[in-house]
Amino acid sequence: MSELLKMIRVNQEFLNYIRVLKSSEKGGVIETIEARPTERIIGQRAPIFAVYIVQKGLGKCYLTEDSGKDFIQEFFSEGEIFGEIEMFNNDLSFCAVEALTDMVIFKIKKEHFYELLEQDKKFNRLVLKLLAAKVRYTALRHSFNQSYPIETKLVRLREQVPQLTSLISKTDLANYLGITERSLNRTFNNLRQRELKT
């Protein structure tokens, strides 16, 4: 469970297999692109023509509500895929994806993605698996987020990611937790105070 709730998503197994494919005779369908920090790779409500798999670096997947608030769904890193959700129901993207560090990303065009799904059993199975993991992760996170006070959430994050605040800006952290920066700061202070006393 703790593994599953990691805030920074990775999928080494999938990445490995993409690399295998890339160096096979069919590897031509797998392109490589790069992105610099703050660069937007896909936009919210945009039509999607390819899936993307993170090879290196860190990105965020977030959506902007009508109220103007941003909510971060996931931070993803090595092996995480995005754009695939939209492929299956021909939907517009519900998240924007933006680079936080320099990123290197595999890109597979829609038609080739479909081909792989149909013709490559292992690929198909890995995609099923990763979708299931995303459902599970998203559901558990939602439940956790609703059920505990901010302080508990922060403590958990820090346990997972010791370099938390150096990796991720406070604004992003607040948007990931669905709270304001003010509340985030306050909670950090409370924690610090309490830790000093012991």
Partner DNA sequence: CACTAAAAAGGACATTTGTCCGAACTGCTG
Partner DNA sequence: CAGCAGTTCGGACAAATGTCCTTTTTAGTG
Q: Which is nearer to its own copies, 118 or 159 (CB)?
A: 118
Smallest CA-to-CA distance from 150 within 122, 169, 115, 176 is with 176
Extended beta strands in the chain, E state = 8-9, 30-35, 40-42, 50-56, 59-64, 70-76, 81-82, 96-99, 103-109
Nearer to its own copies, 145 or 165 (CB): 145
Choose between 8 and 179: whose C-beta lies nearer to DNA. 179
* Encoded tokens for 100: 């936080």
Q: Does 155 bind its own copies (CB under 8 A)?
A: no
Q: By CB under 7 A, which span of 19-27, 45-53, 79-87, 172-180 interacts with DNA?
A: 172-180
Q: What is the smallest separation between the CB atom of 154 and its own copies, expressed in angstroms?
A: 15
**Interface residues for its own copies in 135-154 (CB under 8 A)?**
135-136, 138-148
Quick check: 166 binds its own copies (CB under 8 A)? no
Both tokens of 171, joined, read 């604004």
**Pairing of the two strands 59-64 and 30-35:** unpaired
Out of 67, 163, 193, 198, point to the residue binding its own copies (CB under 8 A). 67
Question: CB-based contacts of 59: which residues, under 8 Å, 6+ apart?
Answer: 35, 41, 75, 76, 77, 97, 98, 99, 100, 103
Position 149 contacts DNA (CB under 7 A): yes
- Interacting residue ranges for DNA, rule: CB under 7 A: 149-151, 169-171, 178-183, 185-189
